[in-house]
Amino acid sequence: MGEPATIAIEISVTQERYPPYDAAHGTPDPMVRRLLTLTLPAGAARFEQTDYGHPGRLNAWEPRGIDPALQARTNELRAACDAITPLLA
């Protein structure tokens, strides 16, 4: 048998839908919020995506906490989020 498997990357995505006028956004339309976490051996990076301001059309992924060892890779991490997005539809 080979060596034990090593986790290279874990991806976690949650999606929430808030009703109109919810305290989380206060707008007259419902709002979708996605939280995506990429966990690598060097740390974790968390990104958020919402359709705040224009229901049904999601905004770009925004960083919501990137561990220091991964901060220099923010552009690559955001590109990974963008690559995952079509799978969430």
Q: What is the pLDDT of residues 9-67, one digit of tens each?
A: 999 999 999 999 999 888 899 999 999 999 999 999 999 999 998 888 999 999 999 99
Q: Whole-prediction pTM value? A: 0.88
Q: Encoding tokens for residue 24?
A: 């989380």
**5 φ/ψ angles, rounded to the nearest 5 degrees:** -65, 145
Q: For the residues 59-83, what does the mean pLDDT come to?
A: 98
Q: How far is CA 59 from the centre of its chain?
A: 11
> Which pLDDT value is given to residue 64?
98
Provide the pLDDT confidence category of residue 1 given band limits of 50, 70 and 90. low
Residue 73 has pLDDT above 70, yes or no: yes
Question: In three state form, how does the secondary structure of the chain look?
Answer: CCCCCCCCCEEEEEEEEECCCCCCCCCCCCEEEEEEEEEECCEEEEEEEECCCCCCCCCCCEEEEECHHHHHHHHHHHHHHHHHHHHHC
